[in-house]
Structure formats: C-alpha cells, structure tokens
Amino acid sequence: MECQPCCKQDRNSHAEYRCTECEEALCHSCKSQHKSFKVSRNHNVVELQQASALPMDSQKESVGVGHDEWIMCHEHRERSVEYFCIKHETPCCILCKRQYHRHCCDVEKVDDVVDNNKLETITMDLLSAIEERNTRLNEVADKERSNLRDLEMIKNNFIAELKNARIAIDRHLDVLQNNIEHEMMKKYETLMREINKRLSNLTQRKTNMIYQYKVIKETSLESALSLGQKYLRIMRLKHKEDGYSERHNTNPKYNLQSIANSRLSYVKTNDGINIRRIYQTLHAPNNRTDIFRGDTDKDEVETGSSTVELESQAFK
C-alpha cells in the first residue's frame, strides 16, 4: 500500500501507518509530519498491520484490554470509541466528534483523559451500584415469592372455608328435612288411623245395612204379622237409619288438606338460599262439604323460614 500524501505529490512511498481519523495511509516520514501538526497531533495513528486487525464490522461493544479489542460506537458501528468530551462527559468516535462535538474545546483522547485513579474510582462506583441494584432486585424477588406463598395460603383457606360452609349447609338441610319428615309422618299416621277407623265403621254399617235390608224384606213377606206390626217394625228400622249421616263421617278434602297445604319452598340469591315452610289452614264453616274448592281468599297462611347465607369475607 502506498502513502496517500506522497501519491498526491507524485512520490512513491510505502505506507506503514494509518490514521484512523483521517482514514489515510502514511509512510514513516508523513506520519512524523502528521503528528507534528496541531490539528492532527492527537489523531490515532496505528501501524497498518494493527489497523487491519481492528473489528470494523463489529456490531457489539467489546470490553477488553490492550489495542486488539475496541469499544465500538453505538451510532457508527464501524468506528471505535477513542475520544472523550470533558464538557459533556461523553465518549465518542471520530465521526461523533466531528458531528456533535466540533465546537467543544475539551475533546481529548480517552487515554489522555483517564488515569489509574480515575479508572479505579469509576470502576468501584459502578461495581457498588451493580451490587446495590442486585440487592434491591433480590429483595423485590423475595417479596414476590412471599406474595405467592400468601396467595396460595389464602386460596387454600378459602377453599377450606367453602367446604366447611357446604358441610354446615348440608347438616342444616338434613335437620330441616328430618324435622319436616317427622312432623309429616305424625300427621300421616294420625290421619291414617282416622281413615282406617272410618273404614271399619263403614264396613260394620254396611253389614248392619244388609241385615236390615233382609229383615225388612222378611217382615214385608211375613203373613203371621198384622199390617200394624209390620209398620211399627219397619219404622223402628227407619229411625235407626236416619240417625246416621255419611257426611258426618268423612270430609276427605278437609282432613288431608293439613298435609297437602304444608309446603317447602326455596329462593336462591346471590349470597345464599332462603328456605321457607308454608302452612295453610282452611276453614270449613257449618260442616258444609261444598266449600273445599281451593278458595284461597279465606285461607290463613302461616309461614316459617330458614335462611342459609354465605357471608363473603375480604382477604387482605
């Protein structure tokens, strides 16, 4: 490679160096002159062998020691960071220097600005800041893990309370069902005995009625009796029959209504279940059987309720 300044002067010289800022190849003589000028004395001039080893196409910053590894500019990926603007406290490459810091008077080579004490100070500060941040991150992570444990505990407690509430509701419903069934069975047995008693009386009366029918037929055909005796015997049987009325024996609708009108209803709400027992009592005035038609205007309604509520609890 030829020296570029010499070529412009029609001289042939072998280039041994390269200015990374001017991007020119220099011979030994031109390199000495380049470093002697005020405007270029601080330029970075490297040997061509060293310049060819620079990672020009690197897109990542490299942190290393010596001249074989360079920190590349974020904006100009092909340029290495070699300068430091003291005014803005910003490292920059040659293009950033020309573009953003050309009016800054304190732009120096990084190696000229930084000494061992300054490097040690900033290194210790950075390490301390990283350690503090790591400590804070660990504290935050520990708190989040604690939140997870608390959340799991709250979930388990809520499920346990829900199961206990379900058990309590089932027990309450079992007690309510047993009480109602016991009361219903008492009414059922009482009414069953009354109905069986009436059936027994009806059977006995039917037997008597068949016997009376037979006596009446025989009396009417008895030739030994006078008409007057026949009449007296039949009238006596008639008086016995008139003294018994079927309507006094049974009122099936009225007797069974005490069971039919005992009802159990429930209403589901957002927070629980409202269970109601409804009792209806029908009045039968003057022993009339034709009023049992479901006339609810004259009914008396007694109600009892049993409420099962699920209380909501806020967990903090």
Q: What was the pLDDT predicted at 287? A: 42
Say if 211 falls within a structural domain: no
User: What are 90-125's pLDDT values in tens digits?
Assistant: 899 888 988 888 888 888 888 887 788 888 888 899
Which residues fall within 8 angstroms of residue 224, CB to CB, at 6 or more apart? none
Say if 46 falls within a structural domain: yes
Say if 137 falls within a structural domain: no
Say if 69 falls within a structural domain: yes
Place of tokens 């007690």: 175
What's the CA gap between 143 and 150, in Å, rounded? 10
Take residue 175 and report the two structure tokens written for it: 């007690």
Take residue 222 and report the two structure tokens written for it: 């008895």
Domain boundary among 118, 153, 179: 118
Q: What was the pLDDT predicted at 253? A: 58
| Neighbour order of strands in the sheet with 272-281 | 263-268, 272-281, 300-309
Going by C-alpha positions, the residue among 159, 166, 141, 140 that lies closest to residue 315 is: 159
Take residue 120 and report the two structure tokens written for it: 């040690």
Helix %, strand %, coil % for the chain, to 5? 55, 15, 30
Q: What was the pLDDT predicted at 242? A: 56
User: What are 245-270's pLDDT values in tens digits?
Assistant: 555 555 555 556 666 666 667 777 77
Say if 12 falls within a structural domain: yes
Q: What was the pLDDT predicted at 274? A: 76
Domain boundary among 91, 118, 145: 118
Cα dist from 316 to 115, 157, 163, whole Å: 56, 13, 21
Q: What was the pLDDT predicted at 20? A: 78
Q: What total of structural domains would you count in the chain?
A: 2
Domain boundary among 118, 133, 161: 118
Beta-carbon-side half-sphere exposure of residue 241 (alpha carbons within 13 Å): 15
Say if 157 falls within a structural domain: no
Say if 19 falls within a structural domain: yes
Q: What was the pLDDT predicted at 298? A: 38
Element (H, E) at 1: none
What is the full per-residue pLDDT of the chain (316 aa) written as tens digits?
A: 788 888 888 888 888 888 877 778 889 889 888 888 877 777 878 887 755 555 444 333 333 334 445 688 888 888 888 888 988 888 998 889 888 888 888 888 888 877 888 888 888 999 999 999 999 999 999 999 999 999 999 999 999 999 999 999 899 889 988 988 898 899 889 888 988 998 998 899 889 888 888 888 888 888 788 888 888 888 887 777 655 555 555 555 555 666 666 666 777 777 777 777 665 554 444 444 333 333 333 334 344 455 544 444 433 3
Element (H, E) at 118: helix 116-221
Structural domain of 275: 251-316
User: DSSP string covering 186-223, please?
Assistant: HHHHHHHHHHHHHHHHHHHHHHHHHHHHHHHHHHHH-S
Say if 208 falls within a structural domain: no
